[in-house]
Structure 1
Amino acid sequence: AGYTNDKTKVYSGNLPIVVFGDHTRIFKFVDFPFALGADGVKILVPKKEIDVNYYYYLRNLRILSAGYSRHYKFLKEKKIKFPPLPTQKAIVSILEKAEKAKEWRKKADDLTKDFLKSVFLEMFYGGKYNEVELKEICDTRSGGTPSRSRKEYWDNGTIPWLGSTVCKDRYVNESKQFITKNGLNNSSARIFKKGTILVALVGATIGKTAYLNFEATTNQNIAGIFPKENVDLNSEYLFYAMQNLYPKFISLSSSTFKMANLTFVRNLKIPLPPIPLQNKFTLIVKEVEKLKEKQKKSREEIDNLFNALMQKAFKGELIV
């Protein structure tokens, strides 16, 4: 998307319309003057007997992915039932209400996430406690990747191995990749214990964190951070403290490809309040996590309802 001053390229047809990305398979509802850019954009103008808002729900159709090839050829083959116009409008009203429920659910989820951050800042920041460098209270190490060309390092592996894509400021409960003991012993990979805080060091996920809920190894683009022995530091507290350091990582460079090293991480500072306060925050986290689990189930139920309504609508089975 962008802008142009060339008025000859402005779409002259009626609005609103639906546009389809021939490469991306993305549908967009357009109700404002626009200029048609790349030839990979298809304009879909519904017939008079079809409500454009009903037509826009085509975006929920499953279209086979052909990579960066053209996809309109697949869309053209789709067969969809269009009921009478009054019925279409009634169906749109039902689907819009279901979609609104999805939006409300997401806003509630976002509020829950923001709540913990607000509580953390209120309890521990604002000069209430001395800040200490991570190297004084934590051990920080990086992982490694066994050679992909050596099958014996990967085939039938049983040791969990994680990439930086898991760093989404969330708890990590499982791994999709595994290495062998041979791969572990012949690389810089190391096993991080449960409760280790992971932070991405490079690329799009730089500064994002994860809480490791099981023993695992990681690649070299992740730093594993865990409290030193005999230091009063709660791992859950450390997890949220690291999330608040995200701006430090983002400000590392103006380059689009950012990179941090272990020295940078070890020199970062966090407040170190008394352990009873850290534990109190952990109890709050556990209660919020219970709430988030309930929210997840509610979100799944709403998504299932919306998908069921969509299927019935385009099969002509939604009675209004």
Structure 2
Amino acid sequence: MELKKYKLGDVADIVNGATPSTHNSENYDGSIIWITPKDLSGQKQKIIRRGQRNISEIGFNNCSAQMIPPYNILMSSRAPIGLLAINENECCTNQGFKNLVLDKSICDTDYMYYYLQFHMKEIEALGSGTTFKEISKSALQGIEIRLPDLEKQRDIAKCLSDLDRKIELNKQINDNLEAMAKQLYDYWFVQFDFPNEEGKPYKSSGGAMVWNEKLKREIPEGWYAENICKIANILSGGTPSKAVDEYWNNGTIPFFGPTDCNGSVFQIKTADHITQKGLEHCASSLFEEGIVIITARGSIGKLVIVGTPMAMNQSCYALQSKEGEYEYLYFLTTQLIDCLKAKGSGSVFKSIIASDIEHSTLCVATENVVSDFCKKVKPLFEKLKTNTIEIAELTKQRDELLPLLMNGQAMVHSN
């Protein structure tokens, strides 16, 4: 594959961002899309449509931000360097960006997105500063890049984009599947309109409700005010010594930590792996599929369901359903987290300990209602898990293809 040399400044105008004064409310909540690094850090796909907050025309005119036409590259240039996205709509950004408005007669937007992603470590190394690293406009402009012809760029970008589109579609399907299961859970266990013996909604049809002093509210007759240990066992994790190579080298057992959470319901992949020896020399068991993990330190209060056997570190707790029905346990645990947040004065709390879980009283349903719910939503969770496995496989395929395509070691043949 023949490659032509350019400077990045030859193929793109580097456009800065800015922030209007936050002391003037007239600068905000207008119609101009305004992106910050925070908008990209929570983003799981390459296309961004809008940010959390817009600015007004007054705000835009009162700062040095520049408009970026649709379908160009947004790149954070500090704290951190290298968050990337393609803007679907015309927008501007704050000062944490150096954005690339591309010469599209030379380079394809999608290709440049993947090219920059592939070379991001080299770009990050150009950052300077003491408090935090920042990459300058001149440093970006001077980066040497090598591009194939435009048609070849489009062929390569299409191959990678097709994989990204399928990944994104699966994520959207999973979001819908989770929302459907959550809606049914809320209907049954929050509104108490689970089907009665006649198949009618329990509470709305006059089902018996009794006052519960512990919960300070009415709950269905026969239900419990208990902690989550009524239906689950609490299990803990541990980390084998990092100083012993045979616990880690060539490990094949996924080893979960809070930073592995990526927003998926099911956890399939982990960054670290341990060996069988490592498993034997740490406090963690090998947790089977269907166990619910709560992150207790670091990224606190995140939940995942074990999708493939794995161990976990000491910054987490695992909840093992006593009846093996994890679907109800998963949503009940989300209520537990809400309860803990309320005790901790909002969404910020430093850690979770076992006694927090044991001393949190929840409304727990009867076994027959739980079993009926799990049967209803099981197909949704099975499909959700299947999609998550496919996402992991497609992501691996894309990440393996990226360097091969960029280096010309693999070729894409267009029809």
Pair in the same fold by TM > 0.5: yes
- With over 3 angstroms needed to count, the CA separation of the structure-2 counterparts of 1:286 and 1:221, relative to structure 1, is same
Indicate whether 1:125 and 2:198 are aligned: no
Q: Which of the residues 330, 333, 339 maps onto 1:248?
A: 339
Counterpart CA distance in 2 for 1:296 and 1:222 is 22
Counterpart CA distance in 1 for 2:358 and 2:76 is 45
Structure with the higher fraction of residues in strand conformation? 2
Where do 1:97-246 residues align within 5 Å? 106-126=171-191, 127-128=219-220, 129-151=223-245, 153-154=247-248, 161-166=255-260, 170-172=265-267, 176-178=273-275, 179-180=277-278, 183-184=281-282, 189-191=283-285, 194=288, 195-211=290-306, 214=309, 217-227=311-321, 234-246=325-337
Matched AA of 2:312: T
Counterpart CA distance in 2 for 1:56 and 1:224 is 41
Counterpart CA distance in 2 for 1:317 and 1:158 is 36
Q: Which residue of 2 aligns with 1:278?
A: 370
- With over 3 angstroms needed to count, the CA separation of the structure-2 counterparts of 1:27 and 1:159, relative to structure 1, is closer
Counterpart CA distance in 2 for 1:262 and 1:300 is 32
Q: Which residue of 2 aligns with 1:77?
A: 145
Counterpart CA distance in 1 for 2:353 and 2:297 is 9
- Contact 2:293/2:305 (8 A) holds in 1: yes
TM-score, normalised to structure 2, is 0.54
Q: Which residue of 2 aligns with 1:10?
A: 64
- Contact 1:164/1:222 (8 A) holds in 2: yes
- Contact 1:173/1:212 (8 A) holds in 2: yes
Matched AA of 1:26: L
- With over 3 angstroms needed to count, the CA separation of the structure-2 counterparts of 1:196 and 1:113, relative to structure 1, is closer
Matched AA of 1:241: L
For the residue of structure 2 that corresponds to 1:147, the secondary structure is coil
- Contact 1:203/1:257 (8 A) holds in 2: no
- With over 3 angstroms needed to count, the CA separation of the structure-2 counterparts of 1:158 and 1:45, relative to structure 1, is closer
- Deviations for 1:92-127, whole angstroms, at most 9, x for unmatched residues? 99x999988876654333111111111112222233
Counterpart CA distance in 2 for 1:113 and 1:144 is 30
RMSD: 5.0
Cα displacement (A) at 1:255: 8.5
For the residue of structure 2 that corresponds to 1:203, the secondary structure is coil
Cα displacement (A) at 1:199: 1.3
Counterpart CA distance in 1 for 2:91 and 2:259 is 37
Matched AA of 2:380: V
Counterpart CA distance in 1 for 2:142 and 2:230 is 59
Q: Which residue of 1 aligns with 2:112?
A: 58
Matched AA of 2:281: G
Structure 2 residue runs of 5 or longer lacking an equivalent are 1-16, 22-58, 128-139, 192-218, 406-410
- With over 3 angstroms needed to count, the CA separation of the structure-2 counterparts of 1:256 and 1:34, relative to structure 1, is same
- Contact 2:249/2:274 (8 A) holds in 1: no
Matched AA of 2:338: P
Structure with the higher fraction of residues in helix conformation? 1
- Contact 2:328/2:370 (8 A) holds in 1: yes
Cα displacement (A) at 1:82: 2.9
- Contact 2:110/2:161 (8 A) holds in 1: no
Q: Which residue of 1 aligns with 2:100?
A: 44
Cα displacement (A) at 1:261: 0.9
For the residue of structure 1 that corresponds to 2:384, the secondary structure is helix
- Contact 1:138/1:226 (8 A) holds in 2: yes
Single out whichever of 293-302 and 147-156 deviates more from structure 2.
293-302
For the residue of structure 1 that corresponds to 2:365, the secondary structure is coil
- Contact 1:81/1:316 (8 A) holds in 2: no
Single out whichever of 112-121 and 201-210 deviates more from structure 2.
201-210
Matched AA of 1:208: L
For the residue of structure 1 that corresponds to 2:294, the secondary structure is strand
Q: Percent identity?
A: 17
Matched AA of 1:107: Q
Q: Which residue of 1 aligns with 2:54?
A: none
Aligned pair count? 299
- Contact 1:197/1:211 (8 A) holds in 2: yes
For the residue of structure 1 that corresponds to 2:82, the secondary structure is coil
Cα displacement (A) at 1:133: 1.4
For the residue of structure 1 that corresponds to 2:339, the secondary structure is helix
For the residue of structure 2 that corresponds to 1:226, the secondary structure is strand
- Deviations for 1:166-197, whole angstroms, at most 9, x for unmatched residues? 5556344677323436623xxxx142653543
TM-score, normalised to structure 1, is 0.67
Indicate whether 1:26 and 2:87 are aligned: no
- Deviations for 1:68-92, whole angstroms, at most 9, x for unmatched residues? 3139489632314236xxxx9xxx9
